[in-house]
Structure 1
Amino acid sequence: MSEATAVTVFHPVDDSAAFGRWSQDLLASAQAAAGHVAGQLSAFPDAVLDCAVAVTFSDEIQLHGWLDSADRDDVLGDGRARGYSTCSGDLIFTDDGPLAAGVGLFRHDVAAGKEADFEAMEVRLAVAAAGMPGHEGTVLLPPDRHGDWISLVRFRTSAQLSEWLRSAERSEALSGLRSTLRREFASASNTTPFATTVRIEGGRTLMTPNWKSAMLVLLVLYPTVMLLSRFLGPVLADAGAEPWLGLWLSQIVSVAAMQWWLMPTASRPFRRWLDPVEGRGFRIGVAGAAAIIVLYAVTLTVFATVHELHFWDYVD
């Protein structure tokens, strides 16, 4: 599992220095928990940027263990008594991108000596975003241990985020930002449960080609349907379910399994191939397609030769 980060956003504070001192208690609570990797306070040189605390754990399970802990609740309770209240649910992201809809995450490699100019440009972007429908806030995180600044912009819905990314207001506000960077900024990619990776690159929304998504879905769908037909179908028939109902119930199980387990698992080794930026080269495209075709052949061979998997032989 990849590392996971939680960003806790707070309502604006009157005394940023006092909030910074209190935030060390929250960071210390995370540091004492199993799996802690890093933690930091956001940068908010202007009130338009959210004050937030970000913590990173080695995986999602350990991150949620701390987020749900009594120790963290105690620290947040002390913060509320001081006037530091959270203004949204925790924002979770991994190497694959944000886990919540409507959140855009961007990584920036800021040129040396350009930090102040970069912060000013981020404030300019946040001001422009604040005028868009559904905007809920912008968080700016200082350089992480990899040296990248991270900005997160939050909108109520994914459609509103997309509208902002395509807007003339954003394009105008972006002028000047690139001069503060060593290379073009990029968003973290985010792969949907059905094998479509979405990436924002240079202000453009890029997605996995449909043929790649379709190939991977077929790779998972065929054995799923075959196995359900062999093992679940007879159970439903024995329970008295008519064929039309049994098939419907089987498809519910199939879709649920693919949505939350099978497709995310199958997508992981093909992550680069599915990425519309890293996987757009001819060589990697052919290599990934060839690997899937080989897996097609393996699954077809298994279901053709293993008699115990022939569901049609078990139908009364």
Structure 2
Amino acid sequence: MSARASRGSAADNATVVTSQKVREGRTEEYQRWQDRTNEAAREFEGFVGAEVYPPGAGEENEWVAVFRFSGMDRLTDWLDSDRRQELLDEAHGLFEGPPAQEVLQGGSSAPPTPEVVTAVISHEVRPGREQDFLAWQERTLKAQEKAPGFMGSELFKPVEGVQDHWVVVFRFDSREHLDDWLTSDVRKTLLEEGQKYFTSYDVRKIATSFSGWFQFDHDKGGEAPPNWKQAMSVVLALYPTVMVLNLTVGYGLEKLTIREYIGLFLSNVLSVSALTWLLMPLVNRALAFWLVPSRATSRRVQVLGVVVVVLCYLVSIGVFGLITHQIW
């Protein structure tokens, strides 16, 4: 099957969120395995996108992988496939326990927007208490809406034949605001009440890294590039930005005898602004053939993109070497 991204209505969207705690010292091996898994999923009909989210600072080594398909049948084709089972067998020993998995039907197909932190909470609802759970969830949402930084919530019902859990996904504008809500007295009181309606629940957090500089039609179901491509592209734009600022603004600030820590702050403001609104959009357009996952489906394109970026590095270094008269 060829790699392709399919589009459909929101009601047709199907997403699987997998959380896996990686054993200490096996992170790099896990990342290589996850890359192979993402490539395998890409070959299946109806594939829309995949994202992998590393653990936050100070958290356990728990990684979250999200796969999006254009329909539940297509998602289950991937989940039940021999290829996926082979990959899971191959990963035996990488994780401390079996991965936790939640399947979501409907809802938004786009990944979290920049800086947004998402919590995925699954509930095992007591039989016969479904309506009570829904009423409790409605009260919880009203309380959430008053919390600082709250950006929205979605409720996903069980998927017959796939999973029995009810899943709630909600978003905050920062990890700090999300953690404040999760540890608040209001939520603690609500959870105590909710114990009458569900027997257990599980919380997972998802965050992004450089995603603010890499937006390829996210509202249409696009996806962000892998972190290593993001890092290479940011360096490509960051190096000339810093050099130009040092040779112009930095020189001017020295002449004005502005204190170093103030000058550094002003330089950071200018460099981030230049990256966000000028240089990164240009880099995104120029390297879209390599950065957009749905386009970079062949090894030739992957290698070509790396070669182009490295050549740009060398050109930049050579140009600024000549400008500063420090070339060999």
User: TM-score normalized by structure 1?
Assistant: 0.37
Answer 1 or 2: higher relative contact order, Cα 8 Å, separation at least 6. 2
User: TM-score normalized by structure 2?
Assistant: 0.36
